[in-house]
């Protein structure tokens, strides 16, 4: 599940130039509960898969990736 979330976050940021919301991530991976999404994001952060710039999930970054919006 977390690998799928990571792939979708990367794809979203590459497309739009900014990270998806917790609700958008849930929609992408078919999780209705934003709490469940948040728990996955926290675990992913603890494992070093992602980070939050200001401690909030809306500012997700992925170590090793630089994002540029594509047209």
71 versus 31: the higher-pLDDT residue is 31
Domain assignment present for 54: yes
Which residues span the domain enclosing 8?
2-61
Domain assignment present for 71: no
DSSP state of 70: -
Residue 69 has pLDDT above 70, yes or no: no
* pLDDT on residue 65: 78
In this predicted model, what pLDDT tens digit does every residue of 27-68 receive, in sequence order? Answer: 999 999 999 999 999 999 999 999 988 766 678 999 887 766
Domain assignment present for 22: yes
Element at 39 (helix H, strand E): helix 34-46
- Domain total in the chain: 1
Domain assignment present for 68: no
Q: For the whole prediction, is pTM greater than 0.75? A: yes
Please answer whether residues 31 and 15 qualify as being in contact, where contact means their C-beta atoms are separated by less than 8 angstroms: no
Residue 19: CB atoms within 10 Å: 22
CATH number at residue 19: 1.10.10.10
Residue 70 has pLDDT above 90, yes or no: no
Domain assignment present for 29: yes
**Binning pLDDT at 50, 70 and 90, where does residue 23 land?**
very high
In angstroms, how far is the first alpha carbon of the chain from the final one? 28
Give the whole-angstrom CA distance, residue 68 versus residue 22. Answer: 21
């Amino acid at each position: 599940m977390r690998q799928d979330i990571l792939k979708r976050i990367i794809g979203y940021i590459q497309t739009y130039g900014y990270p998806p919301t917790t609700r958008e991530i849930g929609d992408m991976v078919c999780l209705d509960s934003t709490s469940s999404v948040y728990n996955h994001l926290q675990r992913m952060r603890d494992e070093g898969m992602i980070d939050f710039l200001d401690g909030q999930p809306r500012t997700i970054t992925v170590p090793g990736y630089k994002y540029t919006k594509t047209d």
